[in-house]
Amino acid sequence: MTIYEFFRNDRFAALAGVELSDVRPGYARATMTVTPDHLNAGGTVQGGAIFTLADLAFAAAVNAYGNLAVSIQSSIYFHRGLSSGVLAAEAKAIKVGASIASFEATVTDEAGETVATFVASAYRKDVTLPFAKP
């Protein structure tokens, strides 16, 4: 199984239309094309949709080392609202220790403007994941 196939089993990310496009240990990129289903009652992309996009990129980047990492905490900063277009999240390792890993993901729109900043920590377990290390 590839890591892409593994993360295709993330049903909630699939529901949100998130697609993983590039993964290696410590790095991942994911995209989401905004549709009316992503909008909140005010007509802009719901924070939970943006979180889900960033979180999948983070999950892929931290799990790409091959052992299961579970999320401890995430902080997300919303910088601008938008209602259409393609959003991209790039997750990058800040520090990957034996037990704790911290990552940052930046969400941008098609013009390259920063839409959200996401920082997260995960706990790395002694559980080997069922995919070939990318």
**Residues binding a copy of itself (CB under 8 A):** 6-13, 15-16, 36-42, 45-49, 51-53, 55-56, 59, 68, 70-81, 94-95, 97, 99-100, 102, 104, 114, 117, 119, 121, 123
Residue 54 Cβ, how far from a copy of itself at the closest point, in Å?
A: 9
Residue 69 Cβ, how far from a copy of itself at the closest point, in Å?
A: 10
55 vs 62: CA distance, rounded Å: 10
Residue 50 Cβ, how far from a copy of itself at the closest point, in Å?
A: 9
User: Residue written as tokens 């609202």?
Assistant: 81
User: Residue written as tokens 């290696």?
Assistant: 24
28 vs 92: CA distance, rounded Å: 7
The residue (of 15 and 132) whose beta carbon lies closer to a copy of itself is 15
Nearest Cα residue to 22 out of 91, 71, 86 = 91
The residue (of 33 and 40) whose beta carbon lies closer to a copy of itself is 40
Strands 100-108 and 86-96: antiparallel
